[in-house]
Each structure stands twice: as structure tokens, then as C-alpha cells.
Copies of this chain bind each other. A is one copy, B any other.
């Protein structure tokens, strides 16, 4: 059965649920693999990790985890090569960049007071806040990730509060139909697909200045919404309302230093003059209603 990568909570698998083995975790949709610690790819990000004592450099304080990346071990789990920002490791870097929640699963082989006594336990959502390489005493380099637990209150502010959630109906009418957890996960995964499409179409190249931020884990860009999400503007979380920007131009766009004309010229708000034209892509249609709404924030 193919694994469908889903970010956030999986309905029916609340925090604290126990699983017999890795296969059961996979079938529940919690983690893609039966062996690897990280469930993720460079293109999609990582949706889950398992802590099960495989790496002596791991460090587990419960709400704060220092997690060692994957790779560089031989069949007997001896470190024989440096790790690199590829595969699952690159997935965790992408999750950091896009602030995607990562499910943490602890196994009974983890040497920590936070590990379950048998099987595997789903222990909630964490955010990757930093990564770096560490040179071990044996000279090999491993990747490390700092993960911090996110509370329920924190999972929401990143999400548009009042967007059209498609088949689920609007927020005001959906209470009787699906749980809050399901709605949040639905929105989160919808948001992920918008971000993924925009970045793919534009190859992470800024539509304003043609810059790509080249990182060791691959190219990076940000997805900006044209008409603001949430109250009072209630812009939709759709490709037609999104742009691929570098962080600098994202800041300029959100704070009104630049805006777009109907012909998609980029206007410097200070001078009112065009400083260039937005680069477009045939698959990425931009709805002028949103462009006009954003412009109305910054010009009379």
C-alpha cells in the first residue's frame, strides 16, 4: 500500500497512542518506512521521525530533542562515512524551512526516560528549529536537528484561520461534520500542496529579482500570499493568490515597499515607478482580483 505523506495529526492516532511495531506505524499513516528514522524527502519535507536509540548523539529532554540525521552507517550500525543533506535529512531541512510539523515517535530501544517500555508511541508534533553538522570523536560528521514540541495553541497561528477548505465546507458549518484535528490537518496539507506547486513551477527562483537562495540542502524560496489570509481580508490559500519570492522581496511585498500593477509590472511604492516585470510561468495563473486587493493596501 502506497504511503500518503500527511503533515500534522493523523485522525484516530492521538498523542500517546501505542503501536506494536514499525509496520503498524506505517499502516496507520504515521511514518513512511519500516527501517529509516526519518519519513521524508527533499522535495516534500519530513512528516515524521522515530527515536529508537540508533544514534548515540541523540539527546532527548522530552519537549526538546536533539536528533541525529540518517546515513553513513554500515549494516552493523557503525559510523563509516559522513552524513550529507540528502534524502530524509534534506526532508527535515525542508520542514524547518517551511515550518512543517513533524510527528515524533519514540521506540522502546531509545535510552531515555521518555521512551515507552515496549513498542512505539506517537508523542505529538514538533518543529525543527535549527540544524548543523557535528564532528564526532571518531572524526565522522553527522547532521543534527533541534526539535521543539509545539503546543496546540501554536499549531494554529501559522494556518489561515478562515480559508475555503473545499469539500469540508466553511468553518462555520463544518463543526458537526469533522473534528477540529481533521480540519487542521486538511488545511495544513492543502497549504503544503500550494507551496509545493508554486516552488516547483518557479524552481525556487524569485519572481521579482530572479534570485535563488542556494543552500547545502538545495534551493530555497518563500511562498507569499498576495491577498492576506485570515481576517479581515480572507484571501484564499490557492496558487492564484500566491507568489514565489526570495525572503527579501517577500518582506518588501508584505510591508508594501513593492506592489503589482494589472500588467504584473513590479512597482516601487516610494517612487510609483516600475522596477521590473513579475516573471510568470504558464501553469501559474495569477488572479488580478488578489493583485488589486494587495495594491489597495498600499496605494490610494
Contact = CB atoms under 8 A, between A and B. Distances in A.
Interface residues of A, number: 51
Given A213-B248, A216-B257, A248-B246, A231 B66 contact: yes
A213 B246 CA distance: 12
Interface in A230-253: 230-233, 246-248, 250-252
A157 B153 contact: no
Given A151-B153, A157-B148, A132 B213 contact: no
Contacts of A201: none
A220 B132 contact: no
A213 B257 contact: yes
| Number of copies of chain A assembled together | 2
A175 to B, nearest CB: 17
A1 interface: no
A297 B141 CA distance: 9
Interface in A168-214: 211, 213-214
A130 to B, nearest CB: 6
A3 interface: no
Given A151-B153, A153-B153, A257 B214 contact: yes
Nearest to A294: B132
Contacts of A129: 157
Interface of A: 59, 61, 64, 66, 82, 93, 97, 129-135, 141, 144, 146, 148, 151, 153-154, 157, 161, 211, 213-217, 220, 228, 230-233, 246-248, 250-252, 254-257, 269-270, 296-298, 300
The 8 A-B residue pairs with the shortest CB-CB distance, nearest first, are: A132-B297, A247-B247, A151-B153, A215-B255, A248-B248, A215-B257, A216-B256, A247-B248
